[in-house]
Amino acid sequence: MPDYEYVHKELQRSGTTLNLLWLEYCEQCSAAGELPYQLTQFKKHYRDYAVKVNATMHLNHKPGEIMQVDWAGDTATVIDTDTGEAIPAHVFVTSLPYSGYAYVEAFFLMNQECWIAAHVNAFRYYGGVAKILQCDNLKTGVISHGRNEVTLNKVYSEMAEYYGTAILPCRVRSPKDKAMVEGTVGVISNFIIGALRNRRFLSLHELNKAIFERLYAFNHKPFQKKDGSRATAFKEEKPFLSPLPERPFELSEWKIATVGPNYHISVDKQNYSVPYEYIKQKVDVRITKSTIEVFFDGNRICSHPRLYGRANQYSTTESHMPPNHQQYIQWNGERFKRWASKVGNNTKIVISAILSGYKVEQQGYKSCMGILKLADKYSAERLENACKKALTFTPRPSLKNIQAILSSGQDMPVVEEPPKSASSQYGFTRGDEYYRGRKN
């Protein structure tokens, strides 16, 4: 008997045929003094062997164990209301192998955002999560599938971790690994997409509404060879699904940023504070629609609500600031006014005028601090007098005005000189004693 394991293996090689392998087999038999099988028998025995080797094993799936996902090969169509152009819509299909219960939804794109959104919507439709996600080797799910290692897409892996499920990609070029979803894709193409081929849809929402109607009929259609339907089988399977988290997963984007000297990072022209210890360090930033999260060496070090609107806004957490900066941020307008009132009423008026002169009160803090610190250099009395004098010139004096008055002494009271004697009107005059003592 020929070694059909060897024959089967050799047939996988390019240029190898059964006729060629039969001739080699005849040469081996002749060398060994044995009688070979004829070509017809050689091929028959090989076909019997191949049927056994290539037999498809029946898999008894456990309830709630696997959810298989894929994009259908056929597309639906949406009509552009402005141009009349037919826009293809890609169809996402999932199936639970135990019950055969399916979920279908159409998207304009097959990108990362649509891939994640389709999974989130499918989990919501099922009301739970299977223990394993089985997908094809598309780039939105799997970056590389080597012999010894599988590298998953970071966002897809993050979504699976959030829902407490594991991703198990199919072997490369092995559609039998996900036969249920492959079969469901074919049935969906006929039962749903094919049935809608002659209808015109003017929006993706309208198309999906029609798909969901056909999907309901598909899941509730009676089985042909057994009692019940996919929907009734799913009732038995649903208790075995893991519960959904309180909030659905949010699609995120990852970026690398460098912490600036002002202990902030810039994301989409907005600024977010980071603990000052990480100044000049590179950090990973996870961006969602509502949140900015910052990671260093895989550990989350802070998070902020995401800012929208005008550029260059700042989200600053006080605990992220160095100690000397924290002292400064604790100042506010009321505290400056209380400090100024201890110096005098005129000083308080000047400080209030400066604070009210800016659109943002914090812009005036530096000037207020500078004015009140002048009391340490000149005295509180002189500062009060300087503010009184400055208010006679302008209703909102500046720091430079006050400094000029103090440095020139204009705040000092004018000292009146004593009246001059009559003799001083005529200059210096020698007395009579000078002349009496004069020698001739």
Span 182-204, average pLDDT:
77
Is residue 41 domain-shared with residue 78, that is, in the same domain? Answer: no
Is residue 232 domain-shared with residue 357, that is, in the same domain? Answer: no
Span 152-175, average pLDDT:
75
| Model confidence at 320: pLDDT above 90 | no
Dist CA 350 CA 290 (whole Å): 42
Domain assignment present for residue 58? The answer is no
Tell me whether strands 264-267 and 270-273 are parallel, antiparallel or unpaired. Answer: antiparallel
Structural domain count, the chain:
4
Tell me whether strands 132-134 and 166-167 are parallel, antiparallel or unpaired. Answer: parallel
Task: Note down the domain range covering 33.
Answer: 4-53
- pLDDT at residue 141 in the model: 53
pLDDT of 377-410, one tens digit each?
899 999 999 999 999 888 888 889 999 989 888 8
What predicted TM-score, i.e. pTM, was given to this entire model? Answer: 0.53
Dist CA 296 CA 313 (whole Å): 23
* Candidate from 32-36, 66-70, 239-243 with smallest mean pLDDT: 66-70
Is residue 96 domain-shared with residue 217, that is, in the same domain? Answer: yes
Is residue 268 domain-shared with residue 342, that is, in the same domain? Answer: no
Of all residues in the chain, the percent with pLDDT exceeding 70 is 80
Residue at a domain's end among 240, 269, 296? 240
C-alpha torsion 384→388→394→396, nearest 10: 30
- pLDDT at residue 166 in the model: 87
Is residue 369 domain-shared with residue 438, that is, in the same domain? Answer: yes
Domain assignment present for residue 104? The answer is yes
Indicate which CATH number applies to the domain containing 99: 3.30.420.10
Is residue 159 domain-shared with residue 18, that is, in the same domain? Answer: no
Dist CA 320 CA 15 (whole Å): 69
Domain assignment present for residue 270? The answer is yes
The dihedral region occupied by 295, where left means phi > 0, alpha psi between -120 and 50, and beta the remainder, is beta
Buried b (16+ CB within 10 A) or exposed e, 94-127: bbbbbbbbbbbbbbeeeebebbbbbbbbbbebbe
Domain assignment present for residue 344? The answer is yes
- pLDDT at residue 111 in the model: 84
Domain assignment present for residue 11? The answer is yes
Domain assignment present for residue 245? The answer is no
- pLDDT at residue 206 in the model: 92
Span 404-418, average pLDDT:
77
Is residue 271 domain-shared with residue 344, that is, in the same domain? Answer: no
Length of the chain: 440
- What are the Cα distances from residue 225, in Å, to 97, 222, 291, 384? 17, 9, 51, 99
Domain assignment present for residue 134? The answer is yes
Is residue 399 domain-shared with residue 337, that is, in the same domain? Answer: yes
Span 52-60, average pLDDT:
57
- Confidence grade of residue 411 (pLDDT, cut at 50, 70, 90): confident
- pLDDT at residue 293 in the model: 93
Is residue 281 domain-shared with residue 415, that is, in the same domain? Answer: no
- Confidence grade of residue 121 (pLDDT, cut at 50, 70, 90): very high
Residue at a domain's end among 175, 206, 240? 240
Residue at a domain's end among 188, 206, 240? 240
Is residue 88 domain-shared with residue 235, that is, in the same domain? Answer: yes
pLDDT of 73-89, one tens digit each?
778 889 888 888 889 99
* Candidate from 101-115, 308-322, 338-352 with smallest mean pLDDT: 308-322
Is residue 121 domain-shared with residue 205, that is, in the same domain? Answer: yes
Domain assignment present for residue 86? The answer is yes
Is residue 92 domain-shared with residue 152, that is, in the same domain? Answer: yes
- pLDDT at residue 57 in the model: 46
Paired tokens of 340: 């100024």
* Sequence-distant (≥ 6) Cβ neighbours of residue 35 within 8 angstroms: 29
